[in-house]
Structure 1
Amino acid sequence: MDGDIKEVVLTEGQIQRRVSEIADQIAHDYENKDVVMVCVMNGAAIFYIDLMMDLDIPLEMNFVRVSSYGTGTKSTGNVRMLYDLEADITDKHVLLVEDIIDSGHTLTALTEMLKKRGAASVKCCCLLDKKERREVPLKADYVGFDVPDEFLVGYGLDYAGKYRNLRYVGTLKPEIYEGAGQESRAGEDNRI
Structure 2
Amino acid sequence: MAGSGAGDARISVLYSAEALSARVHELAREIVARMGPRPLIVPILKGSFVFAADLMRALHDAGAAPDMDFLSLSSYGAGRTSRGEVTILRDTEVPIEGRDVLIIDDILESGRTLAFARDLMAARHARTILTCVLLDKPGKLATQLKADFVGFECPDVFVVGYGMDAAHAFRQLPFVGFVEE
Q: 1:74 to 1:121 in 2, by over 3 A?
A: same
Q: So what's the TM-score if we normalise by structure 1?
A: 0.84
- Partner residue, 2:23: 18
- Partner residue, 2:46: 42
Distance 2:76 2:171 in 1: 20
Displacement after TM superposition at 1:77 (Å)? 3.6
Q: How many residues align?
A: 173
1:78 to 77, 81, 85: 85
Structure 2: state its 5+ residue gaps.
none
Which amino acid in structure 2 is aligned with residue 48 of structure 1? A
Q: 1:173 to 1:72 in 2, by over 3 A?
A: closer
Which amino acid in structure 1 is aligned with residue 43 of structure 2? C
Aligned partners of 1:5 and 1:170 also within 8 Å: no
- Partner residue, 1:118: 125
Displacement after TM superposition at 1:41 (Å)? 0.3
Aligned partners of 2:78 and 2:168 also within 8 Å: no
1:10-159 superposed matches below 5 A: 10-31=15-36, 34-55=38-59, 56-69=63-76, 73-159=80-166
Which amino acid in structure 2 is aligned with residue 44 of structure 1? S
Q: Greater CA deviation, 35-44 or 67-76?
A: 67-76
Which amino acid in structure 2 is aligned with residue 65 of structure 1? S
1:164 to 150, 156, 171: 171
* RMSD of aligned alpha carbons: 1.7
Displacement after TM superposition at 1:71 (Å)? 8.1
Q: Secondary structure at the match of 2:132?
A: strand
